[in-house]
Structure 1
Amino acid sequence: MTTTTTSPADADRALKAKHRALWALGDYPAVATEVIADLGPTLVTASAITPGDRVLDVAAGSGNAAIPAALAGAQVVASDLCPELLDVGRRAAGVAGATLEWREADAEALPFANGQFDAVLSCVGAMFAPHHRATADELVRVCRPGGTIGLISWTPAGFIGQMFATMKPYAPPPPPGAQPPPLWGDEAHVRALLGDRVTQFTAQRRMLRVTRFATPEAFRDFFKTAYGPTIATYAFNGDDPRRIADLDRDLADLARRHDLGGGAMDWEYLLVTARRVSAG
């Protein structure tokens, strides 16, 4: 009898392949353009991007922050693990008249030189890489001394953080060592990740007003067909109609609790900006 073991490198490749497939599910670009479109320009403005800046957007998806940065005159590289999202971004950039580079890349092992960029941004993207310390190390490494790191992440207590909490009982267990994405929306967690490698650290809790969904059920039905993590959670329960019905109910109830009237909701996020400390 022979046994096989999986090396850490093989396990990591398998995990990243799973993440790549997850974000190719559904229609995340529709989420980016129809629901959270304001976040990218907000991050670009908060990070004070100016013409000529060398900017890296990490886990850029279809370019929610990368395209506004390019339209502001920056020299932008949009990187993401999922090539399908990059393809959508290329087309969107062409329509918008934005010129930028699109690169397939892992947020935990970026293929860029130390200090290559004046600003390193991520808009609800890098937070989904499974290993937070490795991701933070890369964000800092590729930012030049004195450069800007700008992040927008969903908070644990906000709507999307609560959506993940709602889905957790229905979802498969996370891979060993993977950390919950909404931790990036906790100021203390981000401060600890970046540590003394940055200065001028600021963190603001803000609200995104979402008016895309007329009813709680409309939110649920949109996310169960467009948003990769939600699609994957439903698929995990695909042979159990009772659990599917319970998940349908719980997601609609979540949206109902956050309804401000007329279908409007406020989704909390954390906006972080910091400067990488100068050498010496």
Structure 2
Amino acid sequence: MTPTTTPTTTPTTTPTTTDTIDDRALKARHRAMWALGDYPRVAAELIAELGPALVSAAGVRAGDRVLDVAAGTGNAAVPAALTGARVVAVDLTPELFAAGRAFAARHGVTVEWDEGDAEALPYPDGAFDVVLSCVGAMFAPHHQQAVDELVRACRPGGTIALLNWTSDGFVGELFRALGPYAAPPPTGALSPVRWGDDRYVRRLLGDRVTDVAATPGVLRVDRFPTPQAWRDHWKTVDGPTIATYRALGADPDEVAALDRDLAAVATRFDRGTSGTVLPWEYRIHTARRVG
């Protein structure tokens, strides 16, 4: 597939976005949250297989112009570049780009890295053949605006492919366990686990796409001996979890309660016999933009 437009840093249309003082403050908190901990380690050690799975589902080919939205350290961007595609990775948290560039360099590929908001992408309409997001855009607070931007950036006939955690799987339960301890979300901010629901994603995409397909998958996390070991690792590497613990301050009872709740989630999902095996369920949605 050949792009009809070459992306630039200046959009040709005004992207849909909520641009208020509160929204800018929320985005600043999101950027700081994802810079906490060690997301590059999460991407490399726990979820590395997700990017290739999404790239394969999207049918990325050599010569395609690909956009990876909320790309993090390039979990999908680098596998896309390995096909011979020309790839742009955009993320709200540029602190992750150094690890992403190193990841790309280790694989001998080039990826363009841009700071940008999934709800206001800095690219022209229809600039990309394939628009991807691998457990990334799901964390944008305004889901419809994020999807509107994903669709807008994709050329007519191009592919949109999303990989998201499911609501009733391990990660969905993890989010629910964190919820009572975290600061309440701002008005209008929506839960990321809704993106794992097929009907919800179809509704967000609307009639601007066709050939919508949903494919379930399971990521097997088996590198921890016990649920408690997983918890102790997770609370040092995952930005949202670290932020939640920090919000509890020095309250030992609250910290102990959150420790128990996270270990309980892992215990409930543990499928291992000689060690902990956690199945992290996800769903891949692919669609083709009408036009």
- CA drift of 1:212 comes to 2.0
SS at match of 1:20: helix
Alignment match, 1:271: 284
Find the aligned partners of 2:61 and 2:73 in 1 and give their Cα distance: 21
Instruction: Provide Cα deviations, 1:19-78, integer angstroms capped at 9, x if missing partner.
Output: 000000000111111011100000000000000000000000000000000011100000
Alignment match, 1:100: 111
SS at match of 1:211: strand
Q: Any runs of at least 4 consecutive aligned residues in structure 1 with deviations exceeding 2 A, and if so which?
A: none
Does the CA contact (< 8 Å) of 1:25 and 1:227 recur in 2?
yes
Is 1:145 matched up with 2:124?
A: no
Find the aligned partners of 1:94 and 1:207 in 2 and give their Cα distance: 28
Amino acid paired to 2:26: L
- Please give the residue correspondences for 1:7-156 in structure 2 after superposition, counting only pairs within 5 Å: 9-156=20-167
Moved more, 58-67 or 8-17: 8-17
- CA drift of 1:254 comes to 0.7
Amino acid paired to 1:221: D
Amino acid paired to 1:88: A
Structure 2 spans left out of the alignment, 5+ residues: 1-17
Q: TM-score, structure 1 length as denominator?
A: 0.95
Amino acid paired to 1:265: L
How well do the aligned residues superpose, as a CA RMSD in angstroms? 1.0
Find the aligned partners of 1:70 and 1:167 in 2 and give their Cα distance: 35
Find the aligned partners of 2:185 and 2:99 in 1 and give their Cα distance: 28
Instruction: Provide Cα deviations, 1:225-254, integer angstroms capped at 9, x if missing partner.
Output: 100110011011122100100100110111
- CA drift of 1:88 comes to 1.2
Find the aligned partners of 2:97 and 2:199 in 1 and give their Cα distance: 32
Is 1:218 matched up with 2:229?
A: yes
Amino acid paired to 1:105: G
Alignment match, 2:188: 177
Find the aligned partners of 2:22 and 2:262 in 1 and give their Cα distance: 32
Alignment match, 2:12: none
- CA drift of 1:8 comes to 5.5
- CA drift of 1:103 comes to 0.4
Alignment match, 2:258: 247
Q: TM-score, structure 2 length as denominator?
A: 0.92
Does the CA contact (< 8 Å) of 1:200 and 1:274 recur in 2?
yes
SS at match of 1:94: helix
Does the CA contact (< 8 Å) of 1:34 and 1:212 recur in 2?
no
Is 1:259 matched up with 2:270?
A: yes
Amino acid paired to 2:256: A
Instruction: Provide Cα deviations, 1:123-178, integer angstroms capped at 9, x if missing partner.
Output: 00000000001000000000000000000000110101100001111111001100
Instruction: Provide Cα deviations, 1:93-120, integer angstroms capped at 9, x if missing partner.
Output: 1121111100001000000000000000
Is 1:188 matched up with 2:181?
A: no
Alignment match, 1:4: none
Find the aligned partners of 1:36 and 1:112 in 2 and give their Cα distance: 28
Structure 1 spans left out of the alignment, 5+ residues: 1-6
- How many residue pairs end up in the alignment? 272
Alignment match, 2:14: none
Amino acid paired to 1:179: L
SS at match of 2:20: helix
Find the aligned partners of 1:202 and 1:8 in 2 and give their Cα distance: 33
Find the aligned partners of 2:278 and 2:22 in 1 and give their Cα distance: 39
Is 1:230 matched up with 2:230?
A: no
Find the aligned partners of 2:201 and 2:38 in 1 and give their Cα distance: 29
Amino acid paired to 2:110: T
Does the CA contact (< 8 Å) of 1:202 and 1:272 recur in 2?
yes
Does the CA contact (< 8 Å) of 1:204 and 1:270 recur in 2?
yes
Find the aligned partners of 1:73 and 1:218 in 2 and give their Cα distance: 39
